Amino acid sequence: MTEQAGPGENGSSREDGILLECRNISLSFGAVVAISSVSFDICKGEIRAIIGPNGAGKTSMLNCINGFYHPDDGEIVYRGKVRRQMRPYEAAASGIARTFQNVALFRGMSTLDNIMTGRNLKMRTGFLSALLYYGWAEREEIEHRRIAEQIIDFLEIEAIRKEPVGRLPYGLQKRVELGRALAAEPELLLLDEPMAGMNLEEKEDMCRFILDVNDEFGTTIALIEHDMGVVMDISDRVVVLDHGAKIADGTPDEVKGDQNVVDAYLGVAH
């Protein structure tokens, strides 16, 4: 185990207990090694950042956690149990929601429908029962709509409720995507570069939302982000990857001072 000095002092919003632990995860595509034997954990209620230069294997790591990729080696322990190989929808069903680096919304659908899709797993009425008695489906729909409206309210996107998302500016699309992930009421929320391509104001809004989600709903968040200012401000702990390997792990302050990290970002004089 490459468990380092540990998480240091307890972060403000951290509770005890590990929610998810990656043990010696390795993943390669043909001869390209994306991740080599990386271990880290995510504690309940914390904001965990994963950073590193381009191609460090950050997104691959998230893809392993939510089941898009299956690690060649190593295991993922979630809620105290070793997880078997899992499909993305099974990961979603176990409380892992995510957003994507390159916004992946349902472009033809409205903001509201996108967020309602996030409630998919919570819906009980199936195809047949909806056919047999439409009333069930309708009653359920109203209940879920209420929750969707709360999320819309929370993210301050009331005005674009009925707008097809393909027409929205990028910053708002990212916000809708966050809404869709929140609609699943996840235990663990994975955010892949939630602030990429945003202007300062949008970034500040997004930071506020992330902190609020963490605070109000107690959602555990793992995020990938390139904006170091943001990362150091909002995260409780940071893990740094470079060329598929973990080079540092700890509080923002610890990581900032780490020689390996400085080298990875600035290059080493040869």
Partner 1 sequence: MVFVQPFLDMMDPPEFFFEVVIGGIMSGVMYSLVALGFVLIFKASGVFNFAQGVFALFAALTLVGVMTGTLPVFLTPLGFQVPTWLAIIVTCLVMIGLAVVVERVMLRPLVNQDPIIGFMATIGLAFVLEGAGDILWGSSVKALDVGIPQGSFEWLGMQIQIFDLWAAVIAGILVVGLAVFFQKTAVGRALRAVADDHQAAQSVGIPLKSIWVIVWSVAGLVALVAGIMWGSKSGVQFSLSLIALKALPVLILGGFTSVPGAIVGGLIIGVGEKVAEVYWGPLVNGAIENWLAYVLALVFLLFRPQGLFGEKIIERV
Which letter does DSSP use for residue 18 in this model? E
- Report if residue 108 touches partner 1, rule: CB under 8 A: yes
Q: Which residue number, 103 or 232, has a Cβ lying nearer to partner 1? A: 103
- Tell me the two tokens of residue 199: 């202007």
Q: Which of 265, 60, 102 is nearest to 196 (CA)?
A: 102
Query: Of the two residues 14 and 175, which places its CB atom closer to partner 1 in the complex?
Result: 175
Give the one residue of 93, 132, 253, 259 binding partner 1; rule: CB under 8 A: 93
The DSSP output letter for 72 is S
- Binder among 53, 164, 245, 262 for partner 1 (CB under 8 A): 164
Query: 185 vs 258, which CB is nearer to partner 1?
Result: 185
Out of 18, 77, 109, 196, the residue judged to bind partner 1 by CB under 8 A: 109
Q: Compose the 123-162 pattern: x for residues touching partner 1 by CB under 8 A, - for all others.
A: x-xxx--xx--x--xx-xx---------------------
Q: Residue 110's beta-bridge partner residues?
A: 164
Output the smallest distance, CB 121 to partner 1, in A.
Answer: 4
Coil, strand or helix at 237? strand
In the complex, minimum distance from the CB of residue 78 to partner 1, in angstroms, rounded to a whole number: 15
- What is the distance between the alpha carbons of residues 189 and 214, in angstroms, rounded to a whole number? 10
Position 226, amino acid: H
**What SS3 state is found at 101?**
coil
Map residues 34-73 to x or -, x wherever contact with partner 1 holds by CB under 8 A: --------------------------------xxx-----
Please give the angle made by the CA atoms of 105, 109 and 112, to the nearest 5 degrees: 90
Count Cα atoms within 13 angstroms, Cβ side, for 213.
Answer: 31
Among 72, 113, 149, 254, binds partner 1 (CB under 8 A): 113
Among 70, 107, 139, 208, binds partner 1 (CB under 8 A): 107
Q: Does 29 bind partner 1 (CB under 8 A)?
A: no
Rounded Cα distance between 51 and 238, Å, is: 7
| Minimum separation from the CB atom of position 48 to partner 1 (A) | 19
> Of 151, 141, 92, 146, nearest to 121 (Cα)?
92
Residue 2 exposure: Cα atoms within 13 Å on the Cβ side: 17
Residue 153, amino acid: D
Nearest approach, Cβ of residue 267 and partner 1 (Å): 34
How far apart (Å, rounded) are the C-alpha atoms in residues 83 and 88? Answer: 13
Q: Which of 15, 80, 87, 212 binds partner 1 (CB under 8 A)?
A: 87
DSSP calls for 206-236: HHHHHHHIIIII--EEEEE-S-HHHHHHH-S
CB of 66 to partner 1, least distance (A): 6
Q: Site mask, partner 1, residues 181-200, x = CB under 8 A?
A: x-xx----------------
Q: Which residues bind partner 1 (CB under 8 A)?
A: 66-68, 87-89, 92-93, 97-98, 100, 104-109, 113, 116-118, 120-121, 123, 125-127, 130-131, 134, 137-138, 140-141, 164, 166-167, 180-181, 183-184
